[in-house]
Amino acid sequence: MWEGIYIGVTTAVMPFNLLMMFVGCFAGTFIGMLPGLGPVSAVALMIPVTYGLDPSSGIILMAGVYYGAVFGASTSSILINAPGCASTVVTAFDGYPMAQQGKAGKALALAAYSSFTGGTIGAIFLVLFAPMLAKVSLSFQSSDYFALMVLGLTAVAAFAGKGNILKALMMCILGLMLSTVGTDRSNGVERFTYGSIEFIDGLSFLLLAMATFALAEVVMSVMDKTTNAQQAQSNDASALGSMKLTKAEIKEVAPTILRSSVLGFVVGVLPGAGATIASFLAYGVERNLSSKEDKEKFGKGSLRGLAAPESANNAASTGSFVPMLTLGIPGSGTTAVMLGALIAYGIQPGPRLFIDHPDVFWSVIVSMYLGNIVLLILNLPLIPYIAKLLEIPRSILIPLILFFSLTGVYLVSFNAFDIQVMVIICICAIGLKLLDFPLAPMLLGFILGGMLEDNLRRALLINDESMSFLWERPLTAVIMSLAMLALFGQPLLNLLRAKLRQGKTQDVFDAE
C-alpha cells in the first residue's frame, strides 16, 4: 500500500497534474454554483478536454471538477435557496435561513470547513479500506438496498415541525407517487402519462427542486410585504456577517462533522446510493440525536443542520470512487460518466486496476486530498465576493433567480413544456407552504422512489413474490429495525415519559 501511495504522490504532484487539479477545482466550483449544471453535467463537459491528456491527468481533472462542483453547489443553496445539485438540497434548509439572518459569511465558511473535513476523512478511508470496502459493497443485495431506501425515507421525521409528522409522511408519499410518472424501467409500460408524450421520460428532479425551492421562494418573497424593508436593512456592509466560528460553535459542530463524514462515506461506498441519500440521512440522524431545544433550531439556521449534509455529501462523493475503482461499478451518476472516460482510455476499472495501472488508481486518491486543500484555499478568500450576491437589490436579484431557474430546467431537456409544468408545481408548492406542509419530504420521496421500486421488485423476484426477505436476511432485518426505530422511537419514548410522569403525579395524589 505504501508503495502505491508513493506512486500516487509522485504522480499527483507533477506540475501539470497539479495544474489540472487546480483547473478542475476552480471550474467545478463555478459550474456547481449554477442551478441546473450539477456534477454530472460538469464532468461531462470536461470529457472532450481530457481526450488529449494521459489517463492520470484526465481523471485528476475530472475528479477535481466532481468534488469542486459538489463544493460549489452549496453556495447557491445558501445564498439564493436554489440548490446547484440534488446533494445540496439539504444544505438550503439551514444555510439559506442563516443567510437571511445576516450570517452568510459564517454559513459559507462552515460549509467550506465541513466539506473539507468530509472530503479529507473520505480520502483517508479510501486509502486505508478501499479493497475491504469493495467486498462489503458486493455483499449488499436488492433486499438490503430496499431496506436502506426505507431507512432514508425515515428522515422525513427530521423535516417535520412539531406535531407535523403526519404532514411530512403525506408529502413523502406524494414524492413517491410523482416518481412513478413516466415509463416503467423494468417492462417499458407507460404510467400516469395520460397519453402525453411529454411525460414519457417522467419528471425531472431539477424541475421539481427549482419549482419547490427557488421559484416558490421568489414568489413568496414578492407576496411578503415586509421583504423589501428587510432587504433594505440587509444590504449594508454587515450583509456578509462574520466568517469566524467561535470556540463554542466549533465544539458544537465538531462531533456532527465527524459523525456525518463517516456516515456519508459508508453510504457513498454503496453502488447507487450516492451523496444525496447521504446528506438526507446525515441531517435526519443529527436532528434525532439533538436535544429538544436544538431540534427547534433545525430549519431555522442551525449550525449542525448545515454542517451535517455538507460533511456527508463530500465524504460520499469520495466514497463513490470505491466501487468505481475497485469493482468497475459506478457509485453515482457522476462516477458513471468517469467510468466511461476510463474505458475510453482503454483502462478497465476493477480488482486489478491498482496492479495494472497503479499510477491512475493511487494518483486519483491522493489528488482527492490535495484537491480538498486547493478548494479550501480557493474558496475561503472568495467568500466575501461571493456573498456580494446578497447585496444585489431584490428588484435585480429576483429576475436573476428566475432566469437561472428557468434556464437550468430548460437546458436539461430543451423542452418548453417543462417550464409550464414547473410553473404549475410552483403554484401547488406555494399552496402547500401556506398550509404548513414541509416540501423537503416530497423531494426525498421523489429521489428515492425509483431506487426503492427497482430494488423491491428485484427482491420479490428472488424470493418468489414473498415479503419474507424483510426478516429472513439478517442485514435487511437490522436495517429495517433501524428504520422503524428512527421513525417511531422518539414518539414512543415521549409517550413512555408522559406515562411515567402521569404515574408519579397519581402516586403523589394517592399519598396525600
Contact 67, 59 (CB under 8 A): no
- Residues 327, 206: Cα–Cα separation, whole Å: 30
* Strands of 74-224, DSSP E: 182-183, 190-191
237 grid coordinates: 456592509
- Cβ burial, residue 107 (10 Å; 0-12/13-18/19+): buried
* pLDDT of amino acid 257: 92
- Residues 416, 421: Cα–Cα separation, whole Å: 9
pLDDT digits (tens, 9 = 90+) for 330-362: 666 677 777 777 777 777 776 667 677 777 777
Q: How confident is the model at residue 258 (pLDDT cuts 50, 70, 90)?
A: very high
Taking residues 478-494, report their average pLDDT: 75
* pLDDT of amino acid 511: 57
pLDDT digits (tens, 9 = 90+) for 308-325: 988 988 888 888 777 777
Q: Can you spell out the DSSP letters for 290-333?
A: S-HHHHHHTTTT-HHHHHHHHHHHHHHHHHTHHHHHHHS--SSH
Q: How confident is the model at residue 233 (pLDDT cuts 50, 70, 90)?
A: very low
Does residue 225 have a pLDDT over 60?
Answer: no
Contact 29, 69 (CB under 8 A): yes
Taking residues 487-496, report their average pLDDT: 70
Does residue 403 have a pLDDT over 70?
Answer: yes
Q: Which amino acid does the sequence have at 148?
A: L
Contact 87, 72 (CB under 8 A): no
Does residue 253 have a pLDDT over 70?
Answer: yes
Nearest residue to 57 via CA among 28, 22, 6: 22
- State the chain's mean pLDDT as an integer: 78
Taking residues 134-153, report their average pLDDT: 76
Comparing 201 with 255, the larger pLDDT belongs to 255
- Residues 352, 359: Cα–Cα separation, whole Å: 13
Contact 144, 473 (CB under 8 A): yes
Residue ranges of the alpha helices (H) in 140-204?
142-153, 165-179
Does residue 160 have a pLDDT over 80?
Answer: no
Does residue 401 have a pLDDT over 80?
Answer: no
Does residue 273 have a pLDDT over 70?
Answer: no
* pLDDT of amino acid 234: 44
Q: How confident is the model at residue 236 (pLDDT cuts 50, 70, 90)?
A: very low
* pLDDT of amino acid 316: 86
Taking residues 261-285, report their average pLDDT: 81
The C-alpha angle with vertex 69 and arms to 66 and 75, in degrees rounded to 5, equals 160
Residue 188: count other Cβ atoms within 10 Å of its Cβ: 7
Q: How confident is the model at residue 231 (pLDDT cuts 50, 70, 90)?
A: very low
- Residues 481, 151: Cα–Cα separation, whole Å: 9
Comparing 200 with 501, the larger pLDDT belongs to 200
Looking at the whole model, is its pTM more than 0.85?
A: no
Does residue 55 have a pLDDT over 70?
Answer: yes
* pLDDT of amino acid 193: 85
pLDDT digits (tens, 9 = 90+) for 284-294: 888 878 877 77
Does residue 490 have a pLDDT over 70?
Answer: no
pLDDT digits (tens, 9 = 90+) for 62-111: 888 887 887 778 887 888 777 767 778 888 888 888 888 888 888 888 88
Comparing 111 with 487, the larger pLDDT belongs to 111
* pLDDT of amino acid 235: 45
